[in-house]
Amino acid sequence: MTKGQKAAETRKRNLESKARIAAAQAEALRVWNSGKCPCCGAGLRQNLAISGWIQCDQYGTEGFRKDSTKPACSYQGFTK
Ligand SMILES: [Zn+2]
């Protein structure tokens, strides 16, 4: 493989990676705007540790999720 071919493949991979990230962020934003977790239907909250980080209200162990009497949910996403 020539240097030029290698560089072209790297550019292609980078573009594909950017597209995957953009699609995941668009999906997370759609979920955030819906106000409901796509896995369990609970509400959503922002995790302020990282800008754009959203999580299900039921994310986390007992005492950390909104309602500890209900099961935990692992949904999270990034809107940016
Ligand atoms: Zn959930």
Q: Ligand 1 being an ion, which residues bring their Cβ within 5 A of it?
A: 37, 39-40, 42, 56, 58, 73, 75
Is residue 32 within 8 Å of residue 41, measured between CB atoms? no
Per-residue pLDDT at 56: 98
CA 76–ligand 1 middle distance (angstroms): 8
24: left (phi over 0), alpha (psi -120 to 50) or beta: alpha
Mean pLDDT of 33-46: 98
Backbone dihedral angles phi then psi of residue 24, each to the nearest 5 degrees? -65, -40
Per-residue pLDDT at 46: 97
Sorting pLDDT into bands at 50, 70 and 90, what band is 7? very high
CA 77–ligand 1 middle distance (angstroms): 11
Q: pLDDT tens for residues 43-61?
A: 999 999 999 999 999 999 9
Say how many domains are in the chain.
1
Q: How many Cβ atoms are within 10 Å of 54's Cβ, its own excluded? A: 19
Q: Which domain holds residue 65?
A: 3-78
pTM over 0.95: no
Per-residue pLDDT at 70: 95
